[in-house]
Structure 1
């Protein structure tokens, strides 16, 4: 399994915490974690194989900077995909992950989307975009199945 390359992709915070819960599984592969660069994520370089995307804009600058960050992350994502060339991308979202998943799918990479544990009975923006292209769409609460019909309920990661 060591030769099989995978990317574990998420924004920072809770989405990343859920990805890190999968460490018993992903440490068996040639993995790369891709997340947003922040003071909380930089120390992870010491423990994991990790690369960073530009963090989502927050506050009043959010609407103005969203497009810039989206295109910047698409460029960085393409570079990472060419360098690592994964068989699969496993993602817990959020919007930061959309460019890499779309580009990966175009390149033949399998997309596995795990809907956030926080989504008990509601939709998610990145999930809505990536649901149609996901090879496997996993939910952690049965109530979300009404929004994502082809989803597989496997219970919580935690």
Structure 2
């Protein structure tokens, strides 16, 4: 039987800080979830937290679009992405994917949503007057979409205002 996990997808800088605050809030609320977390992050920015049982570092996906030509060539970052997805799928039952922002969340969310995982996206707290690229895509994909600044409701009318993490 596979272990049940929640994927945490975050990037460097503010994305990482927000994910750390998310994990701290879970601990402060006394939510003793009997669920472990798997971290998926950009290279070199993994969070050290006892609830995260395994981390997978991925090369940054700075290109906004996946081109078919680059998939044919299967560069290293796509190979790493595919290998990571297959390893997680084989070893764990992913209940949910939670992300604080980077574009890295998009391909993983698409694939795990096909496996009936719930997708939760938290638009970064640094956005007040513009949408992030990941936010634009994830708003249509996520089961729950949270904004941390009320000014974003004009872009995301069905989003849930959560306040800052």
Same fold (TM over 0.5): yes
1:82 and 2:90 are equivalent in the alignment:
yes
In structure 2, C-alpha distance between the alignment counterparts of 1:55 and 1:141, rounded to whole Å: 29
Gaps of 5+ in 1: none
Question: Cα offset for 1:54?
Answer: 1.9
Return closer, same or farther for 1:119/1:78 CA change in 2, 3 Å cut-off. Answer: farther
Separation in 2 of the partners of 1:88 and 1:47? Answer: 15
The one-character-per-residue Cα deviations of 1:6-65 (angstroms, maximum 9, x if unpaired) are 111112221011111122427733222221121x43x7388842312322167xxx69x9
1:147 offset after TM fit, Å? Answer: 0.7
| TM alignment of 1:24-63, pairs within 5 A | 24=24, 25=26, 28=33, 29-38=35-44, 40-41=45-46, 44=48, 48-56=52-60
Q: Per residue, is there more helix in 1 or in 2?
A: 1
Q: Does 1:127 align with 2:135?
A: yes
Partner of 2:105: 97
RMSD of aligned Cα (Å): 2.8
Q: Which sections of structure 2, spanning at least 5 residues, go unmatched?
A: none
TM-score (norm 2): 0.76
TM-aligned CA distance change 1:77 to 1:143, over 3 Å: same
Residues 121, 139 of structure 1: alpha-carbon distance in 2 compared, 3 angstrom cutoff: same
TM-score, normalised via structure 1 length: 0.79
Q: Which residue of 2 aligns with 1:154?
A: 162
Structure 2 contact 4–92 (Cα < 8 Å) conserved? no
Does 2:117 match 1:109?
A: yes
Partner Cα separation in structure 2 for residue 90 and residue 57 of structure 1:
18
Classify the secondary structure of the residue corresponding to 2:158.
Answer: coil
Runs of 4+ in 1 over 4 A off after TM superposition: none
Hey, what does 1:20 align to over in structure 2? 20
